[in-house]
């Protein structure tokens, strides 16, 4: 399986020191990815998505009230639940302003469906784009998941510390984007076990989000390197891991879309792929 976040070479202390020093953003780049329409599979809740249009002038529907957390059994997910031509681009972290801007531009320009899992530790960057993301979220073209506040290795934390990380990020997601990230939780670095899964699920984060495809941009790579990873991994039913941490990806969106089109794949959000919805959480 391809591996995870760009921050994987840092331990938690290093990472927090870098955040405090503003070094993480300064030494890295990043951009964003595609999105699309979202629909609810739950007959009891309204659709919150619709077909994305790059030039849509229609007013997106209002966001549903944020539902209560619904604790349950954790399910680990790494690919589509059925044979499908769908793929889900899931973009994490976001410590590169240029990268977050690039993903927002791309989503607005193309209507590409995206699932973003930002860390609130980088809120200075994400908050800048909240107003532009808002209509995309309301249309269901962009979905927000939870990736913890400060990107720690959960295997090194107490249960109460894990809960604080998840809840702080959830509070920020709600305040910033007007939706819950539930039930989608991506463990930083992909580091998890059944115990950490259970802690997250106890907060209503019952979908533990892993992946079976990667753009390889957890580390800085060349455009050719990234596209090589895309050629290798982007297949029907894939959950694709990417990062808004290095700008390489924002310069190859056209090439990524060409690969997707050649293979007859349909980019969707996790809500679309799994029938979850922000109205249900
Ligand atoms: Zn990450």
Q: Read off the tokens for 150.
A: 């400060």
Rounded to the nearest angstrom, the distance between the alpha carbon of 93 and the centre of ligand 1 is 5
* Domain count for the chain: 1
Q: Which CATH number characterizes residue 161's domain?
A: 3.20.20.370
Give kind and range of the element (H or E) at residue 62.
none
Q: Please indicate, yes or no, if residue 279 is contained in any of the structural domains.
A: no
Q: Please indicate, yes or no, if residue 65 is contained in any of the structural domains.
A: no
pTM of the model: 0.81
Q: Please indicate, yes or no, if residue 98 is contained in any of the structural domains.
A: yes
Rounded to the nearest angstrom, the distance between the alpha carbon of 188 and the centre of ligand 1 is 5
Answer whether residue 53 shows pLDDT above 50: no
Q: Give tens-digit pLDDT for 60-114.
A: 888 999 999 999 999 999 999 999 999 999 999 999 999 999 999 999 999 999 9
Q: Please indicate, yes or no, if residue 55 is contained in any of the structural domains.
A: no
Cα–Cα nearest to 249, from 59, 63, 53, 112: 112
Q: Please indicate, yes or no, if residue 281 is contained in any of the structural domains.
A: no
Which pLDDT score is estimated for 56?
Answer: 54
User: Is the separation of the CB atoms in 48 and 38 below 8 Å?
Assistant: yes
**Which residues contact residue 125 at a Cβ distance below 8 angstroms, ignoring those fewer than 6 apart?**
25, 94, 95, 96, 97, 100
Which pLDDT score is estimated for 74?
Answer: 98
Q: Give tens-digit pLDDT for 132-188.
A: 999 999 999 999 999 999 999 999 999 999 999 999 999 999 999 999 999 999 999
Rounded to the nearest angstrom, the distance between the alpha carbon of 6 and the centre of ligand 1 is 7
pLDDT > 90 fraction of the chain, expressed in percent and rounded: 77
Its domain, for residue 249, covers 6-50+70-274
Q: Please indicate, yes or no, if residue 59 is contained in any of the structural domains.
A: no
């Amino acid at each position: 399986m391809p591996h995870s976040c760009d921050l994987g070479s840092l331990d938690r202390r290093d990472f927090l020191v870098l955040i405090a020093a503003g070094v993480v953003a300064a030494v890295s780049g990043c951009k964003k990815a595609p999105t699309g329409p979202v629909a609810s599979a739950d007959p009891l809740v309204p659709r919150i998505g619709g077909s994305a249009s790059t030039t849509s002038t229609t007013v997106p529907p209002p966001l549903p009230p944020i539902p209560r957390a619904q604790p349950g059994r954790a399910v680990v997910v790494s690919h589509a639940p059925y044979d499908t031509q769908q793929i889900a681009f899931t973009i994490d972290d976001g410590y590169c302003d240029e990268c977050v801007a690039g993903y927002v531009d791309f989503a607005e320009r193309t209507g590409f469906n995206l699932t973003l899992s930002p860390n609130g530790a980088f809120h200075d960057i994400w908050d800048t784009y909240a107003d532009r993301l808002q209509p995309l979220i309301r249309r269901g073209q962009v979905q927000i998941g939870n990736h913890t506040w400060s990107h720690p290795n959960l295997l090194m934390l107490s249960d109460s510390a894990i809960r604080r990380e998840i809840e702080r990020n959830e509070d920020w997601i709600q305040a910033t984007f007007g939706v819950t990230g539930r039930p989608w939780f991506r463990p930083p670095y992909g580091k998890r076990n059944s115990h950490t899964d259970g802690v997250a699920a106890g907060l209503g984060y019952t979908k533990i989000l892993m992946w079976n495809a990667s753009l390889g941009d957890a580390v800085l790579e060349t455009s050719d390197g990234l596209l090589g990873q895309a050629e290798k991994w982007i297949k029907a039913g894939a959950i694709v891991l990417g990062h808004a941490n290095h700008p390489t990806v924002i310069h190859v969106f056209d090439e990524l879309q060409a690969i997707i089109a050649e293979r007859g794949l349909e980019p969707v959000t996790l809500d679309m792929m799994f029938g979850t919805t922000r109205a249900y959480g």
